[in-house]
Amino acid sequence: MTEDIRDLVIAGSGVAGLSAAVYAARADLAPLVLEGDQPGGQLTLTTDVENYLGFPDGVGGMELIQRGKEQAKQFGAEFRHGRIEDAAVDDQPLELSLSTGDTIYTRSLIVATGASARWVGAENEDELMGHGLSTCATCDGAFHRGDDVLVVGGGDSAMEEALFLAKFADSVTIVHRREELRASEIMADRAREHENVQFRWNTELEAIHGSTEEGVTGATLVSHPEGYPREKAESGIDVEREAVDIGGVFYAVGHTPNTQFLDGTGVERDESGYIFTQTDDADRPTAQTTVDGVFAAGDVADPRYRQAITSAGTGSMAALDAEEFLETLQDTSESVAPATATQEQSTP
């Protein structure tokens, strides 16, 4: 299905996309928000959000998203299910091919499709994600005061998560499937030297125990002296299993930005897929990508902070930048039209 050309499409309905939608709708841009495969983004997996400004008693992740959606709708934003599968964005209008089979044409696009945390495939992780299993220590660490917790991973992110959690938890155990860390030496040393952080080498998380009512209550760890124990167990090699009592599990095995649909376009990304945004003439940050009319907001362009509050901020930036771009586009069209008319009148 082919539509008229829209002024703005926002890909993604997490905090960044909703913030952009509120700002854009208030500017009468009538944005279309594509909700994606997981409407609301990663925040919908968080039961309680305590560090979002304006909610001193905390707020449920799903509630925060629903409030944002209603606010955007109130100002005139339109929502539609579907995700972008392919994009042609190097010429105007931008052409977006959706998973629904529809094709949308737009003058501008805000990419707020987020980054998906990698999971490890442990038993019960689907059920317990957001109920003691988390991918963000900064978001959920304070809920684990006095707990014993596990951190799964071996890179800098895992060390950072463990050190942050050590402020609250009684003990933090880093579970790594090898004897050698991927983390930088300085981060590894900080973790090794912390009295509340310990390591389980050549070990992997096989199962998480608990319920949505009780949260995480324990885990099954599997180990082998030569590492990669789950792989060995699957091939029939004997491994050692141990049940441990814990109050939380944190995955720190990386994130994958949802930018595959930008393959083959001029939107520049780093080697992991995160979008590069530009600075203006005064060297101040913007949400503009390397393609005119395409903007990025939230985790899709932020491998460092990945917080709801920062995503909301960049969402508003992207909407303001898109509004300015559309005004420039309109000014250019208006300046071209009279010249064309004059030329036509002078033609014999």
Active site residues: 136, 139-140
Distance CA 300, CA 256 (A): 9
Structure tokens at 86: 């392919």
How far separated are the first and last CA of the chain, in Å rounded?
42
Q: How many CA atoms lie within 13 A of 179 on its CB side?
A: 4
Q: SS in 3 state form for 38-63?
A: CCCHHHHHCCCECCCCCCCCCECHHH
Three-class SS string for the chain?
A: CEEEEECCEEECCCHHHHHHHHHHHHCCCCCEEECCCCCCHHHHHCCCECCCCCCCCCECHHHHHHHHHHHHHHCCCEEECCCEEEEECCCCCEEEEECCCCEEEECCEEECCCEEECCCCCECHHHHECCCEECCHHHHHHHHCCCEEEEECCCHHHHHHHHHHCCCCCEEEEECCCCCCCCCHHHHHHHHHCCCEEEECCEEEEEEEEECCCEEEEEEEEECCCCCHHHHHHCCCCCEEEEEECCEEEECCCEEECCHHHCCCCCCECCCCCECCCECCCCCECCECCCCCEEECHHHHCCCCCCHHHHHHHHHHHHHHHHHHHHHHHHHHHHHHHHHHHHHHCCC
